[in-house]
Structure 1
Amino acid sequence: MNNPTHVIVDPRWAGNTGIGRLYKEVLNQAPINTTCSFIKSDMKVSNPLSPLMLGIQANDSGADVFYSPSFMPPARCKIPFIFTVHDLMHLFYYSGFHKFYYKKVIANLAQKAKKIITVSQYSKLQLEELLGIPGSLIEVIYNGVDRSFFENEESYFSERPYFLFVGNRRKNKNIPAMLTAFAQAKIPKEFIFALSGDEDVELASLISALQISDRVKFLGFIPEEDLPKIYHGAHATMFVSLMEGFGLPVIESMASGTPVLTSSVSSLPEIAGNAALCVDPSNTSAIIAGLERLVNDNDFYLQCVSRGMERAQQFSWETTADQTWKTILS
């Protein structure tokens, strides 16, 4: 019998994020012919010296291959390595140093990878065009959606119908534009806009200026097990982002039977297929029209529900994990 393949994994990405979810699903479905060990370091993933630390530990581990679920590759690594680049947001929405680091350090190390995994054809194209990485090095593996979103029948209790946003507050999420469109849309005032996370000073100021303080609700931290019922209870999900590598909320919402208003740019039309209402995220009038249609056009609304459920069935974490392990072990 062949010895199992020893994979050393960077575990610093674990947590309640999209990357953390990918990490958990891939590790939980490790094949029986593998054994995993883990990088042991308190160094933050954002530390510029991370690649050197990863390379040293990978070389000392005796492992056959290194795997990371996100963008930080090892430097001076003597064993094959595979890592995942979800997006190139750092080139657009972060500091000049981040842009320099990505182009000069990450891009150069990426050329030495056995394989680079990314999560959409859009992100693959960006890797080729912006970082000069050969397409032959890049494997597109979509993220998945948990069965709990399909199976859940509970709804989050809300006295008023709500549009939902789930995600962080980074600039690419386009939250000010969504709030502005919501404030101006000609929809019944009983509708509220519910957002994950807590209120911050910047958003509070905008909400006050838009005079919708009584129509916005912050849901705080949402435990993973509560997400299905929060999606299921929403009238629709708004995820009109300026840029995404994938966009998990799109398929999580669809799997919950909740229509999605999303963007016509970046990876989002690719992931949504013909099952969501895609609008120009830089055009407030287009977002307004989308909101109004999801409230006033019942036939279209029901069509989005049906198409969304069908589209979401095409994504599974089992497939994601299986394709990831085939790439790691190939």
Structure 2
Amino acid sequence: MVLSVDPVKFPLTGIGRYTYELGKGLQSEALESLKFLRGYRLSDELSQPRDENPMAGTPAWKRFAQRNGLTVAAFRHLSPWLKSRALKGLEDHIFHGPNYYLPPFAGRSVVTIHDLSHYVWAQWHPPERVRYMRAEMELSLKRASVIITDTEYTRQEVAKYFTWPLDRIFAVHLASGPEFAPRSPDELAPALRAMRLEPGGYCLFAGTVEPRKNLSSLLQAYGRLPKATRMRWPLVVAGYRGWNSEDLHQSLQAAQSQGWLRYLGFVPQQTLPLLMAGARLFVYPSHYEGFGLPVLEAMASGVPVVCSNASSLPEVAGSAAAMHDPDDVDGLLKLLEIGLEDEVWRARACAAGLDRARQFSWKKCTRETLAVYRAVSEA
């Protein structure tokens, strides 16, 4: 078995977390001949994610090369060949690409397709990324023995869009880690104090700041809450700066200057579970998700959740979250009022969220992925 671990890098967002947790799970199963491919090198050990940007301290010439269109294009053409060469002689192994891509490989291959946003919502990505992703995904589909998706929603979407047989697509749910759990105010206070926050004193959004996450609707709705509510429980936004987010950041700055919003930027992995557990309410109004891992992490933390009813989110949240149409700002506003002020609903949502989160685990994800590998090896 060979698992590509290129996604395990700064910042460790959803796909990186999935890859890392799956790698840990496979290691714990003591598989024979388990190897990890990072770049063009094979290793018997899983690399650890970083909590700091590796670009910091990188020479200027290297940063320029990484941003230069011609250099990037040449790298993208060369990279599959170099990966293929690294895999030579391992044709008796199964290769798993956990992030849409599969290099040329003479053995059997498994690819994880997390969502089809580059096809169905192309306007939410840079045009050059859309072209590259589509080209690489279509090559991956030609090379794959089977496909894994994060949800049944995406499984059906992939089958319909690419006319792939459903019996060669497997839905394997992700999970929240044990670090996402309810915590006492005393346990939370030191870390939150460093961010000038108090346990239970804020509403939280965590995710990449980009148009797909629908932060614009959240800012409109939150801005219409009574001023006393906004000032008592300010909105905290934690997330890496994403593509085409200049207007969003201007809106964030305007709300911050009015005193009812805090933008924290990227929050280190060891701090994020504390920030999550300290929230009074977690809100995730995204237009489209392949899974929506932060929703599950919030539920596992004992925090009530308001999220959109778009794409895979109902499959993940079940009946434990209050849901709204992503374009319905009025509906979101009403749910924010309930989520912040209705103690009966909040208690019920916390309990339901904890029950829902227990239905997902990385151990289960690993076990079901291993079942996919066995199906491939026996085919």
Per the TM superposition, whether the score is higher than 0.5 is: yes
- Structure 1 residue 70: deviation in Å? 1.3
Secondary structure class of the residue paired with 1:147: coil
- Tell me: CA distance 1:18–1:103, structure 2 relative to 1, closer, same or farther (3 Å): closer
- Structure 1 residue 68: deviation in Å? 1.7
Are 1:113 and 2:107 matched, yes or no?
no
Aligned to 1:70: 99
* Equivalent runs, 1:82-231 vs 2, <5 Å: 82-91=110-119, 92=121, 93-150=124-181, 152-153=183-184, 154-155=187-188, 156-157=192-193, 158-159=197-198, 161-186=201-226, 188=229, 189-197=231-239, 201-207=246-252, 213-231=258-276
Cα separation, 2, equivalents of 1:145 and 1:208: 31
Contact 1:82 1:116 in 2 (8 A): yes
Greater relative contact order (Cα < 8 A, sep 6+) = 1
- Tell me: CA distance 1:309–1:212, structure 2 relative to 1, closer, same or farther (3 Å): farther
- Tell me: CA distance 1:212–1:316, structure 2 relative to 1, closer, same or farther (3 Å): same
Cα separation, 2, equivalents of 1:48 and 1:286: 47
Q: How many residues align?
A: 323
- Tell me: CA distance 1:244–1:316, structure 2 relative to 1, closer, same or farther (3 Å): same
Cα separation, 1, equivalents of 2:263 and 2:299: 22
Cα separation, 1, equivalents of 2:201 and 2:302: 15
Secondary structure class of the residue paired with 2:360: coil
Cα separation, 2, equivalents of 1:62 and 1:103: 26
Are 1:289 and 2:334 matched, yes or no?
yes
- Structure 1 residue 208: deviation in Å? 5.3
Task: Encode CA deviations 1:236-262: one digit per residue, 9 max, x unaligned.
Answer: 111110000001111110011101110
Cα separation, 2, equivalents of 1:121 and 1:40: 29
- Tell me: CA distance 1:150–1:209, structure 2 relative to 1, closer, same or farther (3 Å): closer
Aligned to 2:86: 57
Code of the residue aligned with 1:25 in structure 2: it is: E
Q: Over aligned residues, Cα RMSD in angstroms?
A: 2.6
- Tell me: CA distance 1:201–1:114, structure 2 relative to 1, closer, same or farther (3 Å): closer
Cα separation, 2, equivalents of 1:306 and 1:237: 14
In the alignment, structure 1 segments of 5+ residues that lack a partner are 1-6
Secondary structure class of the residue paired with 1:262: strand
TM-score normalised by L of structure 2: 0.78
- Tell me: CA distance 1:47–1:285, structure 2 relative to 1, closer, same or farther (3 Å): farther
Moved more, 187-196 or 202-211: 202-211
- Structure 1 residue 89: deviation in Å? 1.8
Aligned to 1:311: 356
